[in-house]
Amino acid sequence: MRFRALKVADAYEFTPRAFPDERGLFVAPFQEDALIEAAGHPMRVGQTNHSVSRRGTIRGVHFADVPPGQAKYVYCPAGSLLDVVVDLRTGSPTFGHWDAVLLDPVDFRSVYLAEGLGHAFIALEDNTVMSYLCSEPYNPPAEHGINPLDPALGLPWPADLTPIVSEKDRSAPTLAEAEAQGLLPSYADCTAHYEKLRAR
């Protein structure tokens, strides 16, 4: 399993080795040893999520209060999508920056994002499947969103796709509004949380 750090600190792309033969193919998209080497600690799995999306569907930008936050390990077993990680941690050196990775069942890449980072994606094909490992169960009072169409963020949604966005995501605050409202996690709180995870 190869991995590389993304431009947003505490997010990583993983690419496993695939094993094709006359029966088909085998691949292990999640390998704990590689995640520990990258992040410095294992990932607790509190919930798994599965979504199916039409072409052009945007989900996100979603994040959770820290602590405990919600780290995610995401993978696309069918279709294809552009996965986007956004640094929403106030005080972070990469605050407001994003990085994007193409996920599909061709290269079998996955993305890990630590607690406090924002997550979004756009489906590039109909019936695109996203599979998530989440470090914590869904907790509605602690869950928040940023408008994925916020022009100040300038997320890399393909111009040839008409965005399909839920009313909840479309009515979410911009990054500037969320910062003014005190909704965003702080970089100090997040890094303290990461250190506790590494010390376990």
The catalytic position among 12, 50, 62, 193 is: 62
3-state SS class at 5 = strand
Total Cβ atoms within 10 A of residue 41: 17
The catalytic position among 50, 73, 75, 132 is: 132
* 116, 61 Cβ separation under 8 angstroms: no
Catalytic, 62? Answer: yes
As for how many domains the chain has, the answer is 1
Token look-up 């936050």 returns: 69
Summarised one tens digit per residue, pLDDT across range 170-198 is 999 999 999 999 999 999 999 999 999 99
Summarised one tens digit per residue, pLDDT across range 69-116 is 999 999 999 999 999 999 999 999 999 999 999 999 999 999 999 999
Summarised one tens digit per residue, pLDDT across range 13-25 is 999 999 999 999 9
pLDDT band at 200 (very low <50, low <70, confident <90, very high): confident
List the domain range (segments joined by +) for residue 182.
2-199
Nearest CA-CA partner of 153 in 74, 100, 104: 100
Summarised one tens digit per residue, pLDDT across range 36-49 is 999 999 999 999 99
Quote the radius of gyration of the chain (alpha carbons, Å). 16
**pTM tops 0.85, yes or no:** yes
CATH number of the domain within which 182 lies: 2.60.120.10
Catalytic, 193? Answer: no
